[in-house]
Amino acid sequence: MTRLAATSFRATTDQTTNQTTDQTTNQTTDQTTNPTSTESTTPMRPTHRTSSPTPRLPRKASLALAGLVSLAALTAAPAPAAAHTMGNGYLSLTVSGAKATGQIDLAFRDLHDAVGLDSDLDGQVQWREARSHGLAISRYLTDHLTVATAGHPCGLTFGEPGAVHRADGEHLALPLEVTCAEDITALELDYRAVFEVDAQHRGIVRVARAGDEQQAVVRLIDRPGPIRIELAQPSADVLGFIKQGVWHIWIGVDHICFLLALLLPAVFRRSAAGWEPVPRLADVVRDVLDVVTAFTLAHSITLVISALGWVHLPVRLVETAIAVSVALAALNNLVRAIDARWAVAFALGLLHGFGFSNVLLDVGLPGHHLVSALLGFNLGVELGQLAIVLVFLPVAFAARRTTGYRVLLFTASTAMALVALRWSLERALT
């Protein structure tokens, strides 16, 4: 009968049903279950399943690692000009009969890489150095640009170089005259400049007839090789602008940093105990969708109003503000001043739209082509952004409970904030 001591419920039941049971055994049972009463009042203890705490790195170790990563990031960070825009070359021609006039301009840094303009090797290209290399630049362009019509090569004559400011920095502009043997109805262009020193280079070509500038043909060249431009079919290269939008995101380090600063904390939520992993992927996806939608809406608004000429801001101010926006987004991960990250994405995303519009403004598209170019470029930006999200999100969700991801959130945010502050100072002062 010693099994009666197993639970108070069994002991009470045996008292009422087995009256002939040994008194000593019942007393022992009663003392075991409840020394003051024959009724069992001792509750059974519920069994709780406790989850193991999320591993955390010691604070001193986190700070030390953040310092090392930040120092490495500051050392390896790209120059402010390279952090945002790709190197573009611009060729603009106006056709009249058998001749075409216009200009070609390339970034000083690209020409230096291709020709070697820094004569005194001080790390800076001065205007006098560029002018002194005028003949070498003309020869380089003659070797890397071919224009023909109806299969017959046309002659190229370059004028005195000048300087022009573009979204990606200072450019050297050379007047150009094209002379063909017959009237030009179509141009066959083979643009190969800069590609041998920068595979990410893009050539933006705009061709129009004299007196009919609104019927321009625009093409984007992303690899060396001949293209044919039919003047009777004015159009904007929508597919080319989609590619341009994708590349603008993928090689724009500051845009990528801004997006990652918004995405890194998406797999956590705030609680009294601090950062806690979000349990369900659906909640993370919903949060990221809010952030990305806000960013898309914001930069689309300013991209349109800037490209249409309704609002124009100086390039230096825009580039500096974009760098500051990266720093603010990263710092918000460290001090968590604003929990609604979609609001951060919208407010700061307005600045990025002005940066996106600089590419379209430099092309100088007429109004009826600008709409299609805007749609194509903006679609490209969204596709590039979506690709980054699709790669990042599953990895972040899988790693959210690890010490390594917490360290990554802290160190990456610290590094991005410091690098972005460096960019903002250099862009403001350069």
Q: Distance (Å, rounded) from C-alpha 364 to C-alpha 166? A: 12
- 225/116 same-domain check: yes
- 104/218 same-domain check: yes
- 168/309 same-domain check: no
Tell me the mean pLDDT in the region 18-30.
43
12 belongs to a structural domain: no
Q: Distance (Å, rounded) from C-alpha 253 to C-alpha 276? A: 29
Find the Cα–Cα–Cα–Cα dihedral 124, 113, 156, 232, rounded to 10°. Answer: -110
pLDDT value of position 237: 64
Find the distance separating the first CA and the last CA of the chain, reported in whole Å.
93
- 161/285 same-domain check: no
**Would you say residue 179 has pLDDT above 90?**
yes
392 to 265, 411, 421: CA distances (angstroms): 12, 17, 24
- 175/290 same-domain check: no
227 belongs to a structural domain: yes
Q: Which of 201, 234, 267 corresponds to the end of one domain?
A: 234
169 belongs to a structural domain: yes
112 belongs to a structural domain: yes
Residue range 88-103, pLDDT digits in tens:
899 999 999 999 999 9
- 270/186 same-domain check: no
Total residues found in the chain within this entry: 430
- 112/259 same-domain check: no
Predicted confidence band of residue 394 (pLDDT cuts 50, 70, 90): very high
- 230/297 same-domain check: no
Q: Which of 184, 201, 234 corresponds to the end of one domain?
A: 234
375 belongs to a structural domain: yes
Strands ordered across the beta sheet of 152-153 = 152-153, 145-149, 186-191, 226-230
Q: Which residues contact 113 (CB under 8 A, 6 or more apart)?
A: 194, 197, 198
- 110/165 same-domain check: yes
Residue type at 408 in one-letter notation: L
Start-end of H helices in 133-276: 134-144, 238-250, 253-263
pTM as predicted: 0.62
Structural domain of 326: 59-82+252-429
% of the chain residues with pLDDT over 70:
74
- 74/209 same-domain check: no
Highest mean pLDDT among 32-41, 171-180, 246-255: 171-180
11 belongs to a structural domain: no
41 belongs to a structural domain: no
Residue range 277-333, pLDDT digits in tens:
999 999 999 999 999 999 999 999 998 888 777 888 887 888 899 999 999 999 999
- 345/259 same-domain check: yes
- 208/295 same-domain check: no
Count the domains in the chain: 2
Predicted confidence band of residue 235 (pLDDT cuts 50, 70, 90): low
42 belongs to a structural domain: no
Q: Distance (Å, rounded) from C-alpha 245 to C-alpha 131? A: 34
Q: Which of 173, 206, 234 corresponds to the end of one domain?
A: 234
